[in-house]
Amino acid sequence: MTISVKNICCIGAGYVGGPTMSVIADKCRDISVNVVDKNEDRINLWNSPNLEDLPIYEPGLDKIIKRCRGRNLFFSTNIKKNIEIADIIFISVNTPTKKKGIGAGQASDLKWVEACAREVAKYAKGRTIVVEKSTLPVKTAEVIKTILEASQSKEISGELNPFFDVLSNPEFLAEGSAIKDLEDPDRVLIGGDNEEAILALSSIYRNWVPDNKILHTNIWSSELAKLTANAFLAQRISSINSIGALCEATGADVREVARAIGTDKRIGSKFLDSGPGFGGSCFKKDILNLVYLSNYFGLNDVALFWEGVVKLNTWHQHRISKLIVKNLFGTVTGKKIYILGFSFKANTNDTRESSAINICKDLLEEGAILTINDPKVESIQIAKDLGKIENPKVHIMNENDNFSLEGEWCYSDKINNGFAGSDAVVVLTEWYEYSKINWSEVSKLMRKPAWVFDARSIINPNEVKEANLNFWRIGDGSIT
């Protein structure tokens, strides 16, 4: 029997649910796509007439929202109604690392996923395909199935008797390029065993993804493949950052090493950019999840192997703070340092696990006076991340301002306002506008001897040196 899909419900209007469902709505005009969330503020922002207010910044997303919202794309807090009418329900809620209890610090906290399964069990009518879009530990589908089946057995047979299929369909988009990744994915992965359900889900993607890119596996392989993909990507970053540290010690240049190894087709050139360490909501959490699962299944050496990737990343972040202090004559107490970039990568307003958080905290701990700029991250978010929310009045820097509180920070909403009196500038996110700074102009404003620390390799070393500034670049042993 062919299952016809007319209504989709996605639970979770976050960084995945929002863009993913927008692209589905854009590509499938005859399907009504309803994105629901219990967070009313977030839903209001998704519905804001001013597209600048959308709760997440993602290049190209505003245009799609403009085309589809109100046509076949809807954002709502009415979870019950939208579950009732859905043929397919995507679960796209957060799955952070558990903070307490068994597995704390490693295992994923599945309480939000479980809550969704219970809501679906309560309200769904007729045959409903439930899709795991969130990143989940292997065997989570079993939990979801058990909860759904418990509701099935309670029903008396009838036309609207709920009947569920559970599929895994992990998301591989990266923030900042989400729309491009969704419109032209390397692959769409669907795990499950019911042919009709798999066909129904595939039929959505077939509207724009070629058949040979839609991969089918069993449900456990699909769940594990998602964790493995993130672990492999993060592992490459820890690998290149470890070599970068060796380059700095030996006079080699990590960019040259990366280019040399990346031309080997077996290695490939992607994900070899040395930086301040990987951030983002998923790499660390997904690897720790893999560590937990490996230990759980008695594979302790496998767990240790993957744990090393996260440990190296943390070590690397602190290494950067330490070398800033070392180069500034061993102390930053009372010195002004201008931080350029707070998001975990360019083209997103997301700061979750951003390396900037650890590096800024280290410098504040050392008594530095920080000024922080980011084109998309708001000051209030930075305050939360730095644990300074108890003082919600963030100091916003103006031109000619002289903020000088040791161990404190202020926000500069214009790039040019933060250089005055600074002993150092630290580039932590690769925003395009930072590569266009006129160093000979800003050098005149800084206190000498002054430093530029480029943790993203986006600054032209010659321009900085000609501007009479000292220069340090990640993974570069030759520049002083």
171 belongs to the catalytic site: yes
Stretch that binds ligand UGA, among 51-59, 156-164, 229-237, 301-309 (CB under 6 A): 229-237
Answer yes or no whether residue 328 interacts with ligand NAD by CB under 6 A.
no
Map the footprint of ligand NAD across residues 25-54, applying CB under 6 A: 37-39, 42
Answer yes or no whether residue 473 interacts with ligand UGA by CB under 6 A.
no
Answer yes or no whether residue 237 interacts with ligand UGA by CB under 6 A.
yes
- Report whether 343 contacts 351 (CB < 8 A): yes
Residue with tokens 């409903």: 128
Residue 13 binding result from ligand UGA, ligand NAD, none, given CB thresholds of 5 to 8 Å by partner type = ligand NAD
Answer yes or no whether residue 95 interacts with ligand NAD by CB under 6 A.
yes
Q: Which of 321, 322, 319 is nearest to 311 (CA)?
A: 319
Residues that bind ligand NAD (rule: CB under 6 A) add up to a total of 26
Map the footprint of ligand UGA across residues 115-144, applying CB under 6 A: 135
Map the footprint of ligand UGA across residues 245-304, applying CB under 6 A: 271-273, 275, 278-280, 282-283
Residue with tokens 């997303």: 61
163-168, strands of its sheet edge to edge: 73-76, 32-36, 7-11, 88-91, 127-132, 163-168, 188-191, 214-217
> What is the C-alpha separation between 184 and 165, in angstroms, rounded?
27
Residue type at 359 in one-letter notation? I
81 belongs to the catalytic site: no
The backbone region for 14, taken as left when phi is positive above 0, alpha when psi lies in -120 to 50, beta otherwise, is: beta
Beta bridge partners of 33: 8, 73
Q: Which residue minimizes CB distance to ligand NAD?
A: 14
Mark residues 162-181: x for contact with ligand NAD by CB under 6 A, - for none. ---------x-x-x------
In the set 92, 422, 429, 457, which binds ligand NAD (CB under 6 A)? 92
In the set 230, 238, 358, 422, which binds ligand UGA (CB under 6 A)? 230
Angle of the 140-154 helix axis to the 219-250 helix axis, nearest 10: 150
What does 214-264 look like in DSSP terms, one character per residue? Answer: EEEE-HHHHHHHHHHHHHHHHHHHHHHHHHHHHHHHHT-BHHHHHHHHHTS
Dig out the tokens for 148 from the structure: 């759904």
DSSP state of 421: T
* Nearest-approach distance from CB 273 to ligand NAD, in angstroms: 18
Q: Which helix (H) or strand (E) holds 296?
A: helix 283-296
Residues assigned a catalytic role:
171, 226, 282
Site residues (vs ligand UGA, CB under 6 A): 135, 171-175, 230, 233, 237, 271-273, 275, 278-280, 282-283, 344-345
> What residues make contact with ligand NAD under the rule CB under 6 A?
11-17, 37-39, 42, 79, 92-95, 112, 115-116, 134-135, 171, 173, 175, 281-282
